[in-house]
Structure 1
Amino acid sequence: MLRLLVAIIFVFSVLPAQATEAGWALLRNGGQVVLMRHAIAPGNGDPANFDLEKCGTQRNLSERGRLQARRIGALVEARAAPVEKVLASRYCRTRDTATQAFGPTLMEAFPALDLPSDESAMEKQKADILERINSYTGSGNLFLITHLEVIQALIGAPAREGEAIILSRGGDSLAVAARIKFN
């Protein structure tokens, strides 16, 4: 009985590491599309009258979130093929995650990654995102930094703040090939 318990604990402690290592292996090969939730930003939602052009009116990265983003960038630089492009929603917390992790020159705002205003907007955004993902043919990795709601709409599952989801692409559907969790 003790052996069975030890085996079960071992399997469950190794699985997350294997999932992460599988993700790193894919990223080392390059040409991957990575969906990522912004780094740590305390709170839920934005104030009622926020302005996309004014970071002071939005929910922003905490100091811990900025450190997390820099750590993500350092790990990706050390363990993966080069990052070719970083697309981010226009919200400050996603743009800040992108620039803290990968620098300002690779980052491009992509409005389809914004939080949707309603369900019909989300359907249009999903179509735009899928088009961009499916047309990607670069040899480096493409990162798309967005929000929980957009990730859930695209893959049907949540992601933690700062989590990277390497996508398996094919037509109108996306699947999760691997995940890398950054603490």
Structure 2
Amino acid sequence: MAALAATPFAVLTCPAFSQDRAAAGQDRQAIAALQSGGLALIRHAITVSGVGDPPNFRLGDCSTQRNLSPQGREQSRAIGRWFLERGLRPDLVRSSQWCRCLETASEAFRSMGRGPEIPIQPWAPLNSFFQGQGDRERQLQQAFQAARTLAQRPAASGFEVWVTHQVTVTGLTGQYVAMGEMLVVSYDGPNKPLKLLAAPIAF
């Protein structure tokens, strides 16, 4: 009877235990990849409802853009905590010039505990090219070239974080990610998408 009574309990608890182990394994993969010089590619955090930007969009004017929601700002801070709690400190954070990306980067990485402030660099190649904005081919080419340069550095040289948009993540990797999700990637050769080095991390 005791063995029979224990069976349902085991069935109920094993999935959660397995999920915890899977999450821990994903963490280890991502940590090891970043410590070896991998590139952290993050889609901006959760925004207010909507798609794209309002018709009166202007770069540099946040009042004309779709911006982070309160949930997105908290998600951004969770991204920063993930890095801080694992002792991971990027050398540089590059961001799209869109306000939702810059705010994600700032909320995540401006307060990383002790040490010098992490530079956050607005970088046009990470800008959105959704619905015909920007220059898709030129921007992706510049991003691929930068990823190639990073991959050629010694592993101990540190790592970068790029905060960008769904279209850019898909253009570089062929992958879809949710808002606030991270891929750890590396350059994998000409005419190839960036290589995934770990399972996606959701915050």
TM-score normalised by L of structure 1: 0.86
CA–CA distance in 2 between the matches of 1:127 and 1:176? 18
Q: Does the CA contact (< 8 Å) of 2:94 and 2:121 recur in 1?
A: yes
Aligned length: 179
2: distance between equivalents of 1:64 and 1:39? 8
Among 161, 174, 178, the residue aligned to 2:179: 161
Q: Which residue of 1 aligns with 2:101?
A: 94
Deviation, structure 1 residue 80: 3.8
Q: Is the 8 A contact 2:58 2:65 kept in 1?
A: yes
Is it true that 1:115 corresponds to 2:128 in the alignment?
A: yes
| AA aligned opposite 2:37 | G
More strand by share: 1
Change (3 A) 1:123 1:57: same
3-state SS in 1 of match to 2:162: strand
Structure 1 residues 10-29: aligned runs within 5 Å? 13=19, 14-27=21-34, 29=35
Change over 3 Å in CA distance of 1:158–1:32 after alignment to 2: same
SS at match of 1:135: helix
Farther off after superposition, 89-98 or 138-147: 138-147
Identity in percent: 31
Residues 90-128 of structure 1: per-residue CA shift (max 9 Å, x gap): 100000011111127511011111111639921111100
| Cα RMSD (Å) | 2.6
Choose the corresponding residue for 1:79, options 79, 86, 92.
86
Unaligned 5+ residue runs, structure 2?
A: 1-6, 111-116
The yes-or-no answer on 1:135 pairing with 2:142 is no
Residue of structure 2 equivalent to 1:31: 37
Deviations 1:70-92 (A, max 9, x none): 12112202204321001100100
Q: Which structure has the larger Rg over C-alpha atoms?
A: 2
What one-letter code is carried by the residue in structure 2 that aligns with 1:107? I
Q: Which residue of 1 aligns with 2:169?
A: 151
Report deviation, 1:51: 0.8
Work out whether residues 69 and 98 of structure 1, in 8 Å CA contact, stay in contact via their aligned partners in 2: yes
String of CA shifts for 1:151-175, please: whole Å, max 9, x gaps.
1111111111111110032222211
Q: Which amino acid aligns with 2:33?
A: L
- SS of equivalent residue, structure 2 residue 186: strand
Using structure 2 for the length normalisation, give the TM-score.
0.78
| Counterparts of 2:137 and 2:57, CA distance in 1 | 23
Q: Which of 38, 47, 51 does residue 41 from structure 1 map onto?
A: 47
Corresponding residue SS for 1:170? coil
Contact 1:30 1:80 (C-alpha < 8 Å) held by counterparts = no
AA at the equivalent of 2:140: K
